[in-house]
Amino acid sequence: MIALIQRVTQADVTVAGQCVGRIGPGILALVGVAAGDGSAEADRLLDRLLTYRIFPDETGRMNRDLVQRGGGLLLVPQFTLAADTRKGNRPGFSTAAPPEAARRLFDHLLASARQRHPAVASGEFGADMQVALVNDGPVTFILDTAT
């Protein structure tokens, strides 16, 4: 699994004009599921999302994670993150998990996140979503369970 994470002061996801997920300060994670990913990858990604140190400590250094800092986690399914972009001028999607497998893993990630963290919101799998955010820093990282 792959996630593009951004430290945000706020973020929300809208589907068909309705807000379906919103957080204040925290992490926005755009999540892609690759072919061959399973629950072990989802669990590892969640561990990293909750413990990746991207928030400042009292000296301004990135030494605090989401659990220490508090705040929200907004998980947004992002099919295109699993694309193969190594060559040509058009992405290939043979590296992405089939939709039902991807939905199952995203739902597993979301359910596990809600069990482990008090403030979790999400986008809607397979929907046309509009994501709005205020990137704090900006601070943006790619987390990949394959590496």
Cβ within 8 Å of residue 40, ≥6 positions away? none
pLDDT of 105: 97
Domain of 46, in residue numbers:
2-144
Residue 43 sits in a domain of what CATH number? Answer: 3.50.80.10
Residue 96 forms beta bridges with which residues?
34
Residue 147 has pLDDT above 80, yes or no: no
pLDDT of 121: 98
Catalytically annotated residues: 78-80
Q: How far apart are CA 121 and CA 123, in angstroms?
A: 7
pLDDT confidence tier of residue 1, bands split at 50, 70 and 90: very high
State both tokens at 99. Answer: 């939709």
pLDDT of 126: 94
| The total number of structural domains that make up the chain | 1
Rg (CA), the chain: 15
pLDDT confidence tier of residue 146, bands split at 50, 70 and 90: confident
- Whether the bond between 56 and the residue before it is cis, its omega within 30 degrees of 0, is no
The reported pTM is 0.95
Residue 42 has pLDDT above 80, yes or no: yes
pLDDT confidence tier of residue 10, bands split at 50, 70 and 90: very high
